[in-house]
Amino acid sequence: MIKMEKPNHGWFDIDKTLITGDNRPEDHVLKAISKVPNRGVNTQRSLGQTEKVIASGEVNLPCIIHAGGEVWNLGGEMIKSFPINIETRKLLAKLILENKDSIDLARFYPEGDRKVWIYVANDELEEKFSKLYLPTNSFGKLTRSIDEYLEWFVNTSTTNTTIRTKEKTILPISSELADAVEFDNSAKNDYFITAKGVKKVTTLLWLCEYLGLDPKDVLTAGDSLATDSEVFKHTIGISVGPELLPHAKMSAQSIDELVVLLDNIYNAND
């Protein structure tokens, strides 16, 4: 481990960094991150999904959700959003309509709203996602009509959308659309989409400026090559998982190793 001052501020990814699956972090994980004096999360999750696993009292910094799309105080108000403009939403709607036979699911959260609006292609997905969102108080609207969904999507301000394709389907992304949005397709069959220039790293840098922090003094942890390695370029990054991510200053091969690493940093004698 490199010798360093104990960072006063830190933001953590959630999935595969603090938890596996959809459970709450274990007590020893929460205890370890609580040693960071000021802490928040930086996640692809929605507000409701985030609050399902991290209670508002377990963080004391504004939190980044929707892969950079919005900044919230958990249990409180939205601080900042970076919406997808209507012309880009029309391009995305065109992509979905033209490839509807290859799409199992499409969803978005209206800007500043915890309730998801979702299209599903079959009974199995309707049952699955109804059960998934109800416990988080984030179930909004669901339709089996792609036309109805696209009318919602085009006419509703949002910072994010997800398109899930059928297995082994690759969406044909036009150069015009590629120039208008950020695509994260690191998860199997899922395209997570935000406005151009809006990512976990850009919103973290915005938030550091908003709070008057130097990113070089900020601790971060994550597991995603596509998103977290970019964060590590600017921060004290901890790569979590078997694969060592570029630009990380430290690494932990598992969640339990992250706990040990944080304990070592914050329990070390001055």
* Model confidence pLDDT, tens digit, residues 66-125: 999 999 999 999 999 999 999 999 999 999 999 999 999 999 999 999 999 999 999 999
- DSSP strand pairing (158-165 vs 139-143): unpaired
Angle between helices 146-154 and 86-98 (to 10 degrees): 170
Q: With 80 as the cut, is the pLDDT of residue 187 above it?
A: no
User: Which residues are registered as beta bridge partners of 190?
Assistant: 164
- DSSP strand pairing (70-72 vs 63-65): antiparallel
Rounded-to-integer distance, Cα 111 and Cα 232, Å: 28
pTM of the full structure: 0.94
- DSSP strand pairing (103-110 vs 78-81): unpaired
Assign 46 a pLDDT band (cuts: 50, 70, 90): very high
Angstrom distances, CA of residue 116 to CA of 106, 110, 119: 10, 7, 10
Beta strands in 131-252 (DSSP E): 139-143, 158-165, 181-184, 190-195, 218-222, 236-240, 250-252
